[in-house]
Every structure is written in structure tokens, then in C-alpha cells.
Structure 1
């Protein structure tokens, strides 16, 4: 009789193990692996950082009427670095009012919802190193002063 009890315990433990492994596998399929989840979170942070840098660059432009030479010219922005590598983001100007911010993304951004970037800006971002081109909004660009006597309506 003890063998039947041991056999039923064995079957019960086997069923519990199979159920647990199935639940764990299902969880990974639905939510992704911990490494994939971490990579998505890093890319979300990179997008947040790019947006924050963009706002800081626009604030700098509004005050100084020019783009910053480097990101270190921005107030309190030296702390914005890649969340994984801890390296600063790349920045370069391409004209007096356009610039690029570059980062290395580790996932397909179609999986990430973002409200900060336009669909056109988001198209510039792919898995791997990507640079997004931004322009200073026209409302921040000073217009030439009118000559004396001009009537402005």
C-alpha cells in the first residue's frame, strides 16, 4: 500500500511542477523575459532623456538666441546620461536652428508608447545607434526688427 501513496504523491508533485513551469513560460510569453523588460525600460528612459534634452536646448535657445555648443552648456543637464552605459548622449548642430541628439537603442521602438516624439521623429529611431533631428520651433526664432515707420498689423 505505501507504494500507491508514494506513487500518488509523485504524480501530484509532477502535475504541480508541470503547472508551475507552464505558468512561468506563459508569463514570459506575455510579459517578456526580465532582460527584455529591462531593455524596454532603458529605451523608455532614453526617450525621456532625449525629450528632456530637447526641452533644455529649446530653453537655452530662447534665452541665448543660439544653440548650445555642447550639452554641458545646458544648466543641470550633465546628469542626463545613458541609463545602461552611463555615457553622455551625442549632440551636434547641423545649422543655426537644427541639431541632432543620438542614442543607442536596444529594442524595437514599435513596442514602446511615447507621447514625447512625433511619428516623424519616432521613425528616425531604430534598434542600434540612432540620431533624431530636431529644429527650434519657429515661435522661438527671433524675427528681424521692422524699420521705423512700418506698420505691423
Structure 2
């Protein structure tokens, strides 16, 4: 009887260990969760910057040289990655198009459509791509 109880206890312990390891493999564990949180903060910052560029372009009727708080388009704006200290990169890609880029840890986990206007995300480049409607 004691042998059966030992076997059952070991089987339950092995099953529990298997389930914990499988759960960590499926979810990526705490390290991946922290990295995804950092990426979420970066994309939120970039979306704020994109909204600011659109606001500046629509109120000034020209593409701005850089995102920044103005009277018509107030901040606060975070221009650097709070985790690495690297600056977010702003580039105009056409008369009404621009992109804002950053380094991401898991860019493949960010949806390609971001839900704000014409914004989309290019995971290969780590860029939010957007356009403004100025005459």
C-alpha cells in the first residue's frame, strides 16, 4: 500500500511539474511578459507622437519637422524610449506621409492595424506608419 501511495505521489508531482513547464513554454514566462509590457509602452508613446504630428500638420497645414508640444497640440510627449533611452525616430516619407520608429523586443506580437486613423505597424522596421490630410 505504501508503494502505491509513493507511486501516486510521484506521478502527481511529475504531472504538476510538466504542467508548470508547459505553461511557461506556452506563455513565455515572466521575462516575456515584461518585454511585451515594454513594447506596449513604446507603441503607446509612438501613437501619441503620431497624433501630435497629425495635429501639427492639420493646424499648420504643413508637415512638421518633428513631433513636439505646441499651443494647438499640447503634450506631454515622450520623445525617448523610457527603457533604453534611445530617441524615437521620426521621418517624413512623402508630402503627407510619415513614420515613427523604435526598437522593439517582440515586434511580431504588435498588430499591423493600430486602430487610429491610417496608422499601421511595420514589424520588420519597428515603425508606426501614418498619413495626414492636409491640402
Give TM-score, length-normalised by structure 1.
Answer: 0.63
Q: Does 1:57 align with 2:29?
A: no
Consecutive unaligned residues of structure 1, counting only runs of 5 or more, are 143-153
Consecutive unaligned residues of structure 2, counting only runs of 5 or more, are none
Asked if the contact 2:45–2:78 (Cα under 8 Å) also holds between the matched residues in 1, the reply is: no
Q: Does 1:19 align with 2:15?
A: yes
- CA distance in 2 between partners of 1:102 and 1:63 (Å): 23
Deviation at 1:15, TM superposition (A): 3.3
- CA distance in 1 between partners of 2:4 and 2:106 (Å): 47
Q: Which has the larger radius of gyration?
A: 1
Cα 1:59/1:76, change in 2 over 3 Å? same
Deviation at 1:53, TM superposition (A): 1.4
Asked if the contact 2:92–2:98 (Cα under 8 Å) also holds between the matched residues in 1, the reply is: yes
RMSD over aligned Cα, in angstroms? 3.2
Q: How does 1:129-140 map to 2 (within 5 A)?
A: 129-137=125-133
Aligned pairs, how many?
131
- CA distance in 1 between partners of 2:51 and 2:128 (Å): 14
Cα 1:58/1:117, change in 2 over 3 Å? closer
The one-character-per-residue Cα deviations of 1:28-67 (angstroms, maximum 9, x if unpaired) are 1332222222222322332222222111111111222222
Give TM-score, length-normalised by structure 2.
Answer: 0.70
Q: Does 1:125 align with 2:123?
A: yes
Classify the secondary structure of the residue corresponding to 1:71.
coil
In structure 2, the partner of 1:97 is 96
Asked if the contact 1:81–1:87 (Cα under 8 Å) also holds between the matched residues in 2, the reply is: yes
Cα 1:14/1:130, change in 2 over 3 Å? same
Deviation at 1:16, TM superposition (A): 4.0
Deviation at 1:101, TM superposition (A): 0.7
